[in-house]
Amino acid sequence: MAWSAMGFSWTEYGGVTRYPQDGNPKPRMFRANRHKALVNKMGFNNPGASEIRKRLISRKSEDKWPKTPVAANIGRSKKVPNEHAADDYASTLDILWDHADMFVLNISSPNTPGLRDLQGQEYLSSILISCNKVREMKGASKPILLKLSPDNSDDEILETVSLCLSSGVDGIVATNTTIKRPAPLSTQSRKAFSSDGGLSGRPLNSRSLEVINLVYGETQGKIPIVGVGGIESKETAWEAIISGSSLIQLYSALVFNGPTVVSSIVKGIKSRVRESGFSSLSEAVGYKHI
């Protein structure tokens, strides 16, 4: 509930895996203040889908459930090989089904060995088939989104998008963190950038925007895009929207700018909509492509 008080209109929890896991040893998160960037190698530390489900049920019973939509982010359990990934994702989806409004399949974290290989067509289509089966079994339609890596080539991303369009994926999240690094500007950032893991925050913004533009160019609004990566101000938020994002999301900016960043972005977007002569925010989505 604190999230909606900050100005968020939706929230996401996770990454959740089928089995409990400790994640990588600490330290596993590094700051690069001069870059407004983080490097993390958390590795999906979480108590596993069944325990999370229990905790969510108890939150609901205590009336601590947000009034705004909630997404669940699902990752592959570290101990499960890619050959069995489809079952692993589908089981977690099944366990969490009643406890989220939409689901994000995360096949793009750099912190689980081999996870990004799941973006290959064969693995990905078997994951999508298994998750679609769970959805059919549930008899209700909740959106299933796929989260992309910024480190794939444009051609690979387009291939993935085309598979999404033909497999009933309801939306695309662009993007996860990158394994690329900018040139360090300080001893602190040199240390952060020398760690394994995914980089988020300001230096990710330009590639994330490229991916949003690329995906929108291909999908033309057929399925929504969630824009994420280095969004930290009304300008970066607006750019993500006119590039094609129907929803936006941020993480690192909360760490560097504090919670007021959310309401300042929300206010900023509202005035940009007015100033640009749009009658609603949805008119601005993808406007750059017209």
Ligand X SMILES: Cc1cc2nc3c(=O)[nH]c(=O)nc-3n(C[C@H](O)[C@H](O)[C@H](O)COP(=O)(O)O)c2cc1C
* 200 belongs to the binding site for ligand X (CB under 6 A): yes
Tell which one of 13, 20, 42, 170 touches ligand X (CB under 6 A). 42
Region of 182 on the Ramachandran plot (φ > 0 left; ψ -120 to 50 alpha; else beta) = beta
Residues 128 to 167 in contact with ligand X, rule: CB under 6 A = 147
Least distance (Å) between residue 277 CB and ligand X:
29
Question: Binding segment for ligand X among 61-69, 92-100, 200-208, 280-288 (CB under 6 A)?
Answer: 200-208
* 256 belongs to the binding site for ligand X (CB under 6 A): no
Q: Using an 8 Å Cβ cutoff, are 249 and 283 in contact?
A: no
Tell which one of 112, 160, 177, 189 touches ligand X (CB under 6 A). 177
Q: Using an 8 Å Cβ cutoff, are 28 and 43 in contact?
A: yes
Distance CA 54, CA 1 (A): 19
Question: Binding segment for ligand X among 3-11, 81-89, 137-145, 197-205 (CB under 6 A)?
Answer: 197-205
Secondary structure (DSSP) of 214-228 = HHHHHHTTSS-EEEE
* 250 belongs to the binding site for ligand X (CB under 6 A): yes
Token couple for 3: 């999230």
Question: Binding segment for ligand X among 78-86, 121-129, 244-252, 264-272 (CB under 6 A)?
Answer: 244-252
CB atoms within 10 A of CB 187: 8
Least distance (Å) between residue 46 CB and ligand X:
8
Contacts of 41 (CB under 8 A, 6+ apart): 24, 28, 29, 110, 111, 195, 196, 197, 198
Q: Rule CB under 6 A: which residues touch ligand X?
A: 14-15, 29, 38, 40, 42, 44, 73, 106, 109, 147, 176-177, 200-201, 204, 228-231, 250-253
